[in-house]
């Protein structure tokens, strides 16, 4: 159930609170924005993430401002958004976008258990491109030491979703202009091999057939 902090107030009919919808959005998107405050100064940092069950993992340089602050248990707001279309109405005021978004509130904790840290990094890798982790060199001790991983329980959350055509004022439906939706989607292009790749190295099937869906 939504809390007072996560209940959608503006256009409340777009609020979605079931975990399945939230997980689908999280699993399809690539980037989240992490909001936090340090000495009264707000910061919002874009970063990659990965989901494992009811936990969201965030990683970065151990020296980064965000990771240094969040490991102390500071309150955070994590947002993820997928843009699905531009909604063109007859009135400029009623233009909109079709989208799916998630807001998660809570405290992020530093992952200090080595086994969980390695698992979390694998989750992050598999979230971006499945099967890649097993096909590359694993992180060494120096790299692991220079990297921090944070765990954020997905407990206080909500989603907001808009779908469908434009919604105009009744008097504007006769206005002589085109109205509708311009769909937007992420498109995967043909893989481009590294110029330094040894001759004869084929593109892996998981790369060649890559798609981005929940």
The pTM (predicted TM-score) of the whole model is 0.89
Fold of 12-167+179-184: Pnp Oxidase; Chain A (2.30.110)
Number of H helices, E strands in the chain: 5, 10
Chain segment 79-111, per-residue pLDDT in tens: 999 999 999 999 999 999 999 999 999 998 889
Residue from 184, 171, 192 nearest 81 by CA:
184
**Domain locations in the chain?**
12-167+179-184
Residue from 34, 32, 195 nearest 128 by CA:
32
Chain segment 142-153, per-residue pLDDT in tens: 999 889 899 999
């Amino acid at each position: 159930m939504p809390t007072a902090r996560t209940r959608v107030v503006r256009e409340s009919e777009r609020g979605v609170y079931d975990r399945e919808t939230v997980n689908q959005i999280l699993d399809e998107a690539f980037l989240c924005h992490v909001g936090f405050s340090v000495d009264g100064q707000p910061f919002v940092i874009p970063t990659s993430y990965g989901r494992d069950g009811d936990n969201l993992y965030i990683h970065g340089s151990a020296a980064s401002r965000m990771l240094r602050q969040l490991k102390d248990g500071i309150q955070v707001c994590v947002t993820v958004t997928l843009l699905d279309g531009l909604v063109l109405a007859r009135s400029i005021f009623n233009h909109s976008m079709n989208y799916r978004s998630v807001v998660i509130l809570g405290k992020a904790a530093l992952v200090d258990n080595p086994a969980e840290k390695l698992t979390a990094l694998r989750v992050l890798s598999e979230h971006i491109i499945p099967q890649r982790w097993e096909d590359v060199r694993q992180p060494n001790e120096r790299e692991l030491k220079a990297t921090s991983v944070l765990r954020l329980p997905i407990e206080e959350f909500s989603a907001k979703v808009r779908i469908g055509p434009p919604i105009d004022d009744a008097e504007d439906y006769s206005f002589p202009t085109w109205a509708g939706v311009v769909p937007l989607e992420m498109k995967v292009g043909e893989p481009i091999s590294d110029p330094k790749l040894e001759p004869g190295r084929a593109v892996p099937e998981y790369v060649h057939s890559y798609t981005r869906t929940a």
